[in-house]
Structure 1
Amino acid sequence: MEGSGSSEAQGRDGGQVVVGVSDSLGGLAALRAATEEARRSDRVLVAVLAWEPPEGERRYARFADQEWARHRHGEARAALDRAFAEALGGPPRDVDLVCRVVRDRPGHALCATASGPDDLLVIGVHPRRLWRGRIHRYVVAHADCPVMTVPAPPGPTRHELRALRRATARDFVVTS
């Protein structure tokens, strides 16, 4: 699933489809939509999972631990693989795919990857927070290409969640 990098992804006419990958419902919906767009337009799909040290880069720089950074990179790589498994049942075989795990702020990593005017940047958003997300705001302000936002499927309502909390095993038994 690993690609060789930007020369491979940028070498085709018509740009590339860059998708921000996460394990959120919006991220998985974006991965499905980006894959379909890459398939439809015969473009390279570039899946990007960006990560940062939880304590921030400045603090990490003061107490750098290369082994820890390799561990976090491996976790991010496994999360990228899981996202493909959950969203599509595995990496698509009918699309040219480049996967990148990048240590950077997500918005910056996505805009740096989708830098051509013929590229398409795809991100997932929470359905109730279309204009409030930090990554969404950054990408819309800084991207040099069109941005497609894919809303996450709506989750259960408060009423449905309340009903599920009160449910017992008998409520799920099928009677004939």
Structure 2
Amino acid sequence: MTTAIRRVVVGVSGSPSSLAALRAAVDEARRGPSELWAALAWTPVGGETGYRRAPCPDLLKLWERQACARLRNSFDEAFGGFPGGLVVRPLVIRAEAGRALVDIADRPDDLLVVGAGERGLFARITHGSVSRFCVAHAGCPVLAVPPPALLAQMPLRQRHRLPALPVEAYAGTDVRQ
């Protein structure tokens, strides 16, 4: 006997792979009476250790506002806004992405959806694999969504660039942890 999924947790970063995961998560959430928990995890530039060595609260606030704007922008790029007819709980969390997603999707009847990212040695060396961490450590089912085919057609230098948002986009952000 299978149990109904009550929460679909998806990791969002704004990358093309995470947008594919977001679309898949919305499809999964619509299949049953499920809530969509969209989580964007972020850490200060230079990591937590670097920030402890040279703390700057103003920069910390800016980075958090940027993370909130990236989460909102991801929904705008994928759907033109938050999808209707679905309970969406946006989360912006200051933590390493893999650990944060595993901690959020902590119920056996959750479904964790992550973008699998690019394949290949170069991609594994230059980027930590959040999807591999989640598959290895999650206590719930994990759906690893392959990268969109369009990603392979993009020049290498553009594949991981996040869209630049004007400073005005960060004003008035209200998506919080």
Query: RMSD between aligned alpha carbons?
Result: 2.2
Residue equivalent to 1:67? 58
Residue equivalent to 2:138? 143
Segments of structure 2 that go 5 or more residues without pairing to the other structure are 156-177
**1:137 Cα deviation from its structure 2 partner:** 1.7
State how far apart, in whole Å, the 2-side matches of 1:55 and 1:116 are. Answer: 32
Secondary structure (helix, strand or coil) at the match of 2:86 reads coil
Residue equivalent to 1:154? 149
Contact residue 127 and residue 154 of structure 1 kept, 8 A: no
Structure 1 runs, 4 residues or longer, greater than 2 Å off: 126-129, 155-158
**1:40 Cα deviation from its structure 2 partner:** 0.9
Segments of structure 1 that go 5 or more residues without pairing to the other structure are 1-12, 162-176
The one-letter amino acid of 2:90's match is C
Deviates more, 1:63-72 or 1:76-85: 63-72
Distance 1:57 1:157, change over 3 A: closer
Residue equivalent to 1:113? 104
The one-letter amino acid of 2:89's match is V
Residue 35 (str. 1) matches residue 26 (str. 2): yes
State how far apart, in whole Å, the 2-side matches of 1:156 and 1:24 are. Answer: 10
Secondary structure (helix, strand or coil) at the match of 1:53 reads coil
Secondary structure (helix, strand or coil) at the match of 1:155 reads helix
Residue equivalent to 2:35? 44
Normalised by the size of structure 2, how large is the TM-score?
0.77
Distance 1:156 1:58, change over 3 A: closer
**1:128 Cα deviation from its structure 2 partner:** 2.7
The one-letter amino acid of 2:14's match is D
**1:59 Cα deviation from its structure 2 partner:** 1.7
Map 1:1-176; keep pairs closer than 5 Å.
Answer: 14-129=5-120, 132=124, 134-155=129-150
Distance 1:64 1:146, change over 3 A: same
The one-letter amino acid of 2:7's match is Q
State how far apart, in whole Å, the 2-side matches of 1:103 and 1:156 are. Answer: 28
Normalised by the size of structure 1, how large is the TM-score?
0.77
Q: What are the Cα deviations for residues 21-71 of structure 1, in whole angstroms up to 9, with x where unaligned?
A: 022111000000101111111200000000011211012112222221111
State how far apart, in whole Å, the 1-side matches of 2:88 and 2:33 are. Answer: 11
Number of residue-to-residue matches in the alignment: 148
